[in-house]
Structure 1
Amino acid sequence: MHKAEQQFEALIEHFKNQPEITEGKMMSSRGLQYKGKNFLFNWDDKMCFRLGRSFDPASEGLHQYSLLNPFKSKPPLKDWFVFTTDFEKWPLLADIALAKMKEELG
């Protein structure tokens, strides 16, 4: 099992006491959802978080990231950030992504 997959399993454990969080799929990859909408997913040994366009990774001390760009002929998805390192920050990023999703969906 890759490190990102192990960390994804840890995130499932992180949210286990929140029944509104369910496991789902995004781009054929395992993810976590709130009210049926993904706020994070494990993709290609990376973790993708829907943090929003106003999120500044540097504010959390993160400098190694990219925007999700799964399409060859389309621009990146500006709300989604991709991380391959800084595993210790992933629970914080998951909490931020969930809070953003709750704010949007009510």
Structure 2
Amino acid sequence: MKKVLLMSALFVSGIAMATPTLINENVIVSESAIQQERVKIEAEALPDAVKATIAADETVKALPIAEAFQITQLDGKFHFEVKFDDGTEEKLTKKYDQEGNEIKE
């Protein structure tokens, strides 16, 4: 009787450990398709149109620029992401297109 119970327990545990794992590779492929090239640039390298828009914006013109990025999209166009140091841990971030227009999400 003990042998039958032991064999049954071994059989059940063997089946439980032999369960196949599913890997969804489609998620990995779709994530790489939407990646954009993000390059850190100096604040002085921002286009004049973006600098003019920043200078005209009352909410950010007095704030120092902490970081600036040029983001190239898949279609070859690019925009700029500028992080302003507003004294908080999470910096104020704004995005601008090539002509200096603010991109609102």
With the shorter chain as reference, the TM-score category is under 0.3
- Report which of the two has the higher share of strand: 1
Kindly name which structure, 1 or 2, has the bigger radius of gyration based on alpha carbons. 2
